[in-house]
Amino acid sequence: MKKIALLFPGQGSQSIGMGQDYYQEYDVVRELFDMTEEITRINISRLCFKGPMEDLTMTVNLQPAVTAVNLACLAMLERENIEYHYCAGHSLGEYSALAAAGASTKENTIRQVHKRGKLMHREASKHRGAMHAIVGLPINEVSALVADIQEEGIVSVANHNTELQIVITGDPDTVERVSALATAKGAKSIQLKVSGAWHSELIRGAEDDFKAYLEPMPFNTPKKTLFFNVTADSSDNPEEIKEIMIRQLCSPVRWYDTMCKLMEENVDVFVEVGPGRVLAGLLKKTLPKNYAGKIYNVSNMKQLETFLRDCS
């Protein structure tokens, strides 16, 4: 049997029209969107299908919107009785992975990301932030540049996406200074279109409130192997999982290390379950040329048909 890993995208993967063909065709998807709208009191289907992009990309809207589409794509795989073995999600996408692994219910997953989005929006409104992708330097060099500048302001590593793609986060001036140092060392710096300094001390104010919100929520023992952003490792302890998810807000996303772990597990098939191709693109830069694993997206019916045909 092929080893299959489901990978769930987060913020940055959104597009107008995401999830619409599944929504039009399947009751289970319409029910997921209805549930999301009932919990959030946001017209998620209108935002996903018609936008405008400016409203969709507001983190308070985007987090439940992307999660609803992720769960819709997951529902399509469940409908086809696809047997998968590993789950992981990038930042926001980690909540969808919790649901896929059975560690959280889909209802609670929507509640969690809705609260998370509101708290992150609150902190971003208080503290102006920026995020830049540094391309061309390894993690140890970027971390050293960050350490050299940290006394001047708030800056840290947000995401280690591939071996040579690292996202930094913090206050705009300090992030800009680190970017300039990286550029001087031959790297490329790309300013990301974000509304806050995610995974940084600038949103630390959200942590206690999010912890209080998660405390009464039940988490379950995962039925699949679930890898986490904070540790780049698995856990099957519900209380440890809850603690990890609280830490995730301000901790770096160790995505590259997580993909390396999945390769160590000899995963045969990687499936990006949600909108866009961001994670597939990162994975293509990570898998060695001689690695036999295949990468699929299932964000629409045509992609799903291709996956089902190849993996049948």
Same domain, 91 and 158: no
What percent of the chain has pLDDT above 90?
98
pLDDT at res. 74: 98
Which runs of consecutive H residues, i.e. helices, occur in the chain?
20-25, 27-40, 44-50, 53-56, 59-79, 93-101, 106-126, 139-149, 172-184, 207-214, 238-248, 255-264, 278-286, 301-311
Answer yes or no: are the C-beta atoms of 235 and 228 closer than 8 Å.
Answer: yes
User: Residue 171 falls within a domain, yes or no?
Assistant: yes
Judged by DSSP in three states, 52 sits in coil
Q: What is the pTM of this model?
A: 0.97
- Residue pLDDT, tens place only, 195-241: 899 999 999 999 999 999 999 999 999 999 999 999 999 999 999 99
Same domain, 254 and 266: yes
- Residue pLDDT, tens place only, 49-98: 999 999 999 999 999 999 999 999 999 999 999 999 999 999 999 999 99
Total structural domains in the chain? 2
Same domain, 205 and 301: yes
How many Å separate Cα 272 from the centre of its chain?
A: 11
pLDDT at res. 195: 86
Same domain, 244 and 141: no
**199 in catalytic set:** yes
pLDDT at res. 1: 83
Instruction: Write down the catalytic residue from 91, 200, 251, 299.
Output: 91
For 297: left if phi > 0, alpha if psi spans -120 to 50, otherwise beta; the answer is beta
Among 139, 94, 118, which residue's Cα sits nearest to residue 244?
94
- Residue pLDDT, tens place only, 123-162: 999 999 999 999 999 999 999 999 999 999 999 999 999 9
User: Residue 228 falls within a domain, yes or no?
Assistant: yes
User: Residue 39 falls within a domain, yes or no?
Assistant: yes
- Residue pLDDT, tens place only, 12-59: 999 999 999 999 999 999 999 999 999 999 999 999 999 999 999 999
| DSSP line for 54-66 | HHHTSHHHHHHHH
**91 in catalytic set:** yes
Same domain, 152 and 52: no
Measured torsion, CA atoms of residues 204, 210, 215, 219, in degrees rounded to the nearest 10: -100
User: Residue 209 falls within a domain, yes or no?
Assistant: yes
Same domain, 65 and 118: yes
User: What CATH number is attached to the domain comprising 264?
Assistant: 3.40.366.10
Same domain, 111 and 254: yes
Among residues 145, 163, 191, the one where a domain terminates is 191
Tokens 């992720």, residue?
70
Same domain, 97 and 47: yes
Same domain, 109 and 59: yes
User: What CATH number is attached to the domain comprising 154?
Assistant: 3.30.70.250
Answer yes or no: are the C-beta atoms of 299 and 18 closer than 8 Å.
Answer: yes
Answer yes or no: are the C-beta atoms of 86 and 6 closer than 8 Å.
Answer: yes
Answer yes or no: are the C-beta atoms of 70 and 84 closer than 8 Å.
Answer: no
User: Residue 196 falls within a domain, yes or no?
Assistant: no
User: Residue 207 falls within a domain, yes or no?
Assistant: yes
Residue 52 preceded by cis peptide, ω within 30? yes
- Residue pLDDT, tens place only, 262-307: 999 999 999 999 999 999 999 999 999 999 999 999 999 999 999 9
Q: Does the pLDDT value for residue 312 go beyond 80?
A: no
Phi, psi of 178 (to 5 degrees): -65, -40
Beta-bridge partners for 227: 234
Same domain, 36 and 140: no
pLDDT at res. 311: 85
| DSSP line for 186-253 | T-EEEE---SS-TTSGGGGGGHHHHHHHHTTS-----SSEEB-TTTSSB---HHHHHHHHHHHTTS-B
User: Residue 157 falls within a domain, yes or no?
Assistant: yes
Beta-bridge partners for 14: none
User: Residue 53 falls within a domain, yes or no?
Assistant: yes
Among residues 160, 191, 222, the one where a domain terminates is 191
Same domain, 152 and 120: no
- What's the CA gap between 86 and 97, in Å, rounded? 9
Provide the residue range defining the domain that includes 91: 4-125+201-311
Same domain, 25 and 171: no
pLDDT at res. 293: 93
Tokens 């107008």, residue?
16
